[in-house]
Structure 1
Amino acid sequence: MTHLLKKSVKLALVQLANGADKPRNLLHARAKVLEASKAGAKIIVLPECFNSPYGCQYFPEYAETLLPSPPSEEQSPSYHALSSMAKEAKAYLVGGSIPELVPDTKKYYNTSLTFDPAGQLLGTHRKIHLFDIDIPGKIRFQESEVLSAGNGITIVDLPEYGKIGVAICYDIRFPEMSIISARKGVFAMIVPGAFNLTTGKLHWELEARARAADNQIYVALCSPARDMNAMYHAWGHSTVVNPMAQVMSQASESEEIVYADLTPEEIAETRKAIPMYEQRRFDVYPDVSAGDIVFQEAPIGDVGK
């Protein structure tokens, strides 16, 4: 039997406390990635905007240039820090996200970089769905005032283990991304995110469990730690959910690393018990994973042009 996940693996979500000092954030991230590695994690995830404060007003100040790839250390210190972390940890690293600037177009993106244990870039995801919301009396946030949207679904091949889907925060609310990724063979959706205290309480765990139940895969959401002195208050509660939509591990709101052991058998047993993949009725409704879909499976290359 061919498994989506080739062999068992320990996953770590680093719920990082970061601040305004980028070099300090990068050093702190390195320490926590190495801590996760020493605990046996072979896939390690950092949160959204791990190298900077979260907020539209911060994106231009903290943005780095990633093209042409690889960038110089001056163009992108975070790229080189992540590459070094992955190599030092001997682990696959989903590097949360960083603000990216494409100088030719003057466009900013919220961008996630995934590296292999040799420090090589495996994949790049630019956040597809921009967080533009207005909940009266609660929160207004308009990422589109600064950011541009990515244009590809990202599937990254981790040769030892299989494929993962990578998304960023608000992307998780759009089930088509996870459905397409799952039907293309991912064993997990990995989502650095920073839900706020309103949406986090309502939907953070719900979205993770819903995507897992829909697709019978692992889902991992990695948040920054909550800082009530910051402009933006992240929900925290980084969460790993299994293919049966049960919470495997979950952080509190403070800085913490949470771990989960992912196994091939858990996916297979779930799909055997509830055989959704054999029972879908594409004679009644369309397969959203078929047809013309834009994928961003490789490093960004010429995507920014």
Structure 2
Amino acid sequence: MASAACKPEQARVPPAVPLPTPPLTKFKVGLCQLAVTADKERNIAHARKAIEEAAQKGAQLVLLPEIWNGPYSNSSFPVFAEDIDAGGELSPSTAMLSEVSRRLKITIVGGSISERSGDHLYNTCCVFNTEGKLIAKHRKIHLFDIDIPGKITFQESKTLTPGETPTIVDTEVGRVGIGICYDMRFQELAMLYAARASLSSLRGAHLLCYPGAFNMTTGPLHWELLQRSRATDNQLYVATCSPARDAEAGYVAWGHSTLVGPFGEVLATTEHEEAIIISEIDYSLVEMRRTYLPLQKQRRGDLYQLVDVQRLNSQ
């Protein structure tokens, strides 16, 4: 009687349908933790070299950090902003990502850069497929506004505009949900990404990617905790990539780029210096973990629901 009352199929609206089959079961991911300077041309060339090294080591998916082409600061966002939609000379950072992904035949989740679109600035992540095509663009949904007296004060909302759309994309290495840094704190977004797909719109991610730049106050406490929480809550892989730490910068990043497995296990991580992490993702573990611990079948749809408005309106 109790199990019948759970109504797990009603815990998500619209209801779920089976998870998509990924195009491959195993592959290597490369996390490029980069030192970032005020020299944009240097940052672009440096990122290119790191991507090439990761690919040489077998990575089929490469992830870059948040704001990797210039300093992370409100004063720098307008200066380093690019017109991604225009491309070419107006967006040299994404032009490089397109060229190198096509040449190396890899998928790139291109961290994030400051994007100029009309009168607005966004913190934007671009995803490129193995043909060098821009297949997704995620604008940071939750802006990082924080004020901890004596520790850290930062307000992205002074210069940036929040994105309006969750971003999930089919790639050559599976279905990927994208968030940027502060987005990782909001489990609702990860739950939407993990929700099994509807017939009319993409959901059911195999992997969540969060380029991020946690700081020296929140990083030690929350960076790994949140990654493991999102992976454990949703029983999928979570990959993060941070800039390397620069103690002289105005904003000091925590570092510690990491890959977490679908049981919340840390599979690979690094310290705060520059590093390229290569690790394996095995999607068969996702279904295995979900079989062992069937959370999807145990949700209490009689007590609570997650309503995916985007999917609901598309039906």
Same-fold status (TM-score > 0.5): yes
Q: Do 2:25 and 2:284's aligned partners in 1 also have CA atoms closer than 8 Å?
A: no
Instruction: Indicate how the Cα distance of structure 1 residues 109 and 128 shifts in structure 2: closer, same or farther if over 3 A, else same.
Output: same
RMSD of equivalent CA atoms: 1.6
Contact 1:36–1:44 (8 Å) recurs in 2: yes
Give the secondary-structure state (helix, strand or coil) at the position aligned to 2:59.
coil
Q: Which residue of 1 aligns with 2:278?
A: 259
Q: Which residue of 2 aligns with 1:63?
A: 81
Count the aligned residue pairs: 288
Question: Does residue 42 of the first structure (1) align with residue 54 of the second (2)?
Answer: no
1:294–1:145 CA distance, 2 compared to 1 (3 A): farther
Paired residue secondary structure (2:90): coil
- Decide whether aligned partners of structure 1 residues 59 and 293 sit closer, same or farther in structure 2, where only a CA change above 3 A counts: farther
| 1:1-305 equivalent positions in 2, closer than 5 A | 4-5=21-22, 6-67=24-85, 71-103=86-118, 106-158=119-171, 160-183=172-195, 184-288=203-307, 290-292=308-310
Unmatched tracts of structure 2, length 5 or more: 1-17, 196-202
Identity among equivalent pairs (%): 46
Paired position in structure 2 for 1:299: none
Give 1:260 deviation, angstroms: 1.7
Distance across 2 between alignment mates of 1:216 and 1:256:
27
Deviation at 1:57, TM superposition (A): 1.1
Q: TM-score, normalised to structure 2's length?
A: 0.88
SS of residue in 1 equivalent to 2:47: helix
Report the residue type matching 2:301 in the other structure: F
- Residues 47-75 of structure 1 deviation map (CA, whole Å, 9 limit, x = unaligned): 001111111110000001123xxx24221
Q: Deviations over 1:81-103 (max 9, x none)?
A: 11012122211000100101113
TM-fit CA distance, 1:293: 5.3
How far apart, CA to CA, are the structure 2 residues paired with 1:42 and 1:102?
Answer: 31
Structure 2 counterpart SS, 1:13: strand
C-alpha offsets along residues 199-222 of structure 1, whole Å, 9 cap, x if unaligned? 101100000000001000000110
| TM superposition shift of 1:24 | 0.8
Change (3 A) 1:35 1:202: same
With structure 1 as the length reference, what TM-score do the two structures score? Answer: 0.91
Q: Which residue of 2 aligns with 1:298?
A: none
Structure exhibiting the larger radius of gyration computed from Cα positions: 2
Runs of 4+ in 1 over 3 A off after TM superposition: 1-6, 290-295
Shift of 1:291: 3.6
* Structure 2 match to 1:301: none
Q: Is the 8 A contact 2:168 2:176 kept in 1?
A: yes
Greater mean alpha carbon deviation, residues 23-32 or residues 256-265 = 256-265
SS of match in other structure, 1:36: helix
Contact 1:166 1:189 in 2 (8 A): yes
Q: Distance in 2 between matches of 1:168 and 1:232?
A: 17
